């Protein structure tokens, strides 16, 4: 079957238009490097039904090293870390890791930190409220997720700025268009983070506390079979994933709602529920744009065929803007689009383990912000990351009036 082609330069210029054209043309598209990239073709899946179906198909496996090699990274600390990452595990190995994390990363524990999250959000807002403006990414979005995550994990307060700095640098490893040029910085930051998480796990073994690191270290020891490197890597992975994606999602939330003062004011007045608006923002602009897989065994799909070894890019943006799944896919509508579940956190066996924490952070942040300020206005100087990998504002200067 002949598939439509989507060159990278076309996608970068008009991501949602390109995804719609590909979706209208057929179930699969060939994503190519085009004029602005040298990456080999991968098979793109852009429909809501197709993305959900293939995310749940055990014949498609995670293969981060394969994608890293595509973008010129073939060795080093980050490469080795991703090769053993839970994000790169499937089958029983992945289920075993997930069972370990589920026993320690419990919904009850997450709910217990909601008061901390609310207070942390109010403290950050109080820092810029009198000025009537701020650079939202630096003054809120970059700080808030790491505060919640460090509280949950058990990182001492004096170390939290270092954690945030490491997570920001490691985040560049999930930006394919800049990865090759900054891999040295990423490797250096990850080396420091792994050393720190290893020391922290060792301290918690001898002096356990009521925190996530103590629970992970104890559970790993009781279960056996986990190496020291794996334990420190698991903790480091939580630090990165829990910071970088939520930071960008907070930026998207404010940027999207700045264009919809009606929704912002409805949240403040209680006419729209905070969780419903957060879910719709996640659908409308998720920080994660796509998920990569490698085909382990042939898959017949929608009249086409994926062969073993094919690299597949499952577009979360494409799925969540599918007009066959959502009533108003190109409009933020927390009511009309609520009937279909979004895939911002993935789907299937690799559904994001930290989704509950991210939701709690986004909800607490939105409740505090809408109560404190009127709908923000984006000022000159906003800058955005490319719409590949993890996406969001690099800078988001806003002005606002106090309530």
Q: What is the DSSP string of 123-190?
A: HHHHHHGGGTEEEHIIIIITTHHHHHHHHHHT--GGGHHHHHHHHHHHGGGG-TTTHHHHHHHHHHHH
Contact (Cβ atoms closer than 8 angstroms) between residue 128 and residue 118: no
The domain defined by 5-399 folds into Cytochrome p450 (1.10.630)
Mean pLDDT (the chain) is 88
pTM above 0.85, yes or no: yes
pLDDT band at residue 1 under the 50/70/90 scheme: low
CA-wise closest residue to 344 among 354, 331, 330:
354
Q: Which residues pair with 150 in a beta bridge?
A: none
Annotated domain spans of the chain: 5-399
Confidence band of 389 (pLDDT split at 50, 70, 90): confident
pLDDT band at residue 41 under the 50/70/90 scheme: low
Q: Which has the closest alpha carbon to 32: 49, 18, 50, 53?
A: 18
82-133 pLDDT, tens digit per residue, is: 887 766 777 777 777 777 777 666 778 888 889 999 999 999 999 999 999 9
Structural Rg of the chain based on CA atoms = 21
Distance CA 218, CA 241 (A): 22
- Cβ atoms 248, 391 nearer than 8 A: yes
b/e code 351-382 from CB counts within 10 Å (16+ = b): ebbbebbbbbbbbbbbbbbbebbebbebeeeb
> Nearest CA to 197 among 159, 146, 157?
159
């Amino acid at each position: 079957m002949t598939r439509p082609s989507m060159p990278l330069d076309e996608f970068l210029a008009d991501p949602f238009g390109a995804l719609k054209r590909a979706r209208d043309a057929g179930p699969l598209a060939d994503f190519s490097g085009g004029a602005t990239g040298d990456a080999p073709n991968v098979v793109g899946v852009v429909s809501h039904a197709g993305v959900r179906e293939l995310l749940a198909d055990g014949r498609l496996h995670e293969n981060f090293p394969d994608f890293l090699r595509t973008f010129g990274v073939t060795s080093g600390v980050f490469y080795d870390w991703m090769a053993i990452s839970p994000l790169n595990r499937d089958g029983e190995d992945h289920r075993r890791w997930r069972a370990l994390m589920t026993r320690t990363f419990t919904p009850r524990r997450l709910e217990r930190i909601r008061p901390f999250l609310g207070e942390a959000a109010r403290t950050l807002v109080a820092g810029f409220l009198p000025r009537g403006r701020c650079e939202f990414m630096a003054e809120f979005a970059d700080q808030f997720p790491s505060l919640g995550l460090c509280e949950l994990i058990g990182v001492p307060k004096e170390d939290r700025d270092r954690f945030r700095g490491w997570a920001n640098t490691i985040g560049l490893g999930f930006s394919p268009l800049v990865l090759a040029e900054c891999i040295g910085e990423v490797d250096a930051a990850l080396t420091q983070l792994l050393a720190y998480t290893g020391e922290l796990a060792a301290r918690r073994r001898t002096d356990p506390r009521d925190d996530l690191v103590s629970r992970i270290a104890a559970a790993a020891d009781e279960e056996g079979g986990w190496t020291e490197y794996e334990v420190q890597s698991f903790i480091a992975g939580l630090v990165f994933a829990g910071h970088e994606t939520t930071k960008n999602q907070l930026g998207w939330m404010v940027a999207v709602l700045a264009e919809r003062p009606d929704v912002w004011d409805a949240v403040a007045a209680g006419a729209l529920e905070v969780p419903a608006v957060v879910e719709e923002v996640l659908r409308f602009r998720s920080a994660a744009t796509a998920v990569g897989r490698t085909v382990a065994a042939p898959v017949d799909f929608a009249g086409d065929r994926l062969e073993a070894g094919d690299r597949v890019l499952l577009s979360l943006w494409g799925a969540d803007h599918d007009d066959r799944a959502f009533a108003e896919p190109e409009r933020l509508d927390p009511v009309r689009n609520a009937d279909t579940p979004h895939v911002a956190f993935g789907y299937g066996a690799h559904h994001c383990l930290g989704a509950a924490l991210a939701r709690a952070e986004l909800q607490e942040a939105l409740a505090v912000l809408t109560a404190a300020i009127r709908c923000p206005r984006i000022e000159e100087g906003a800058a955005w990351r490319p719409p590949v990998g993890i996406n969001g504002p690099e800078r988001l200067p806003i002005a606002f009036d106090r309530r």
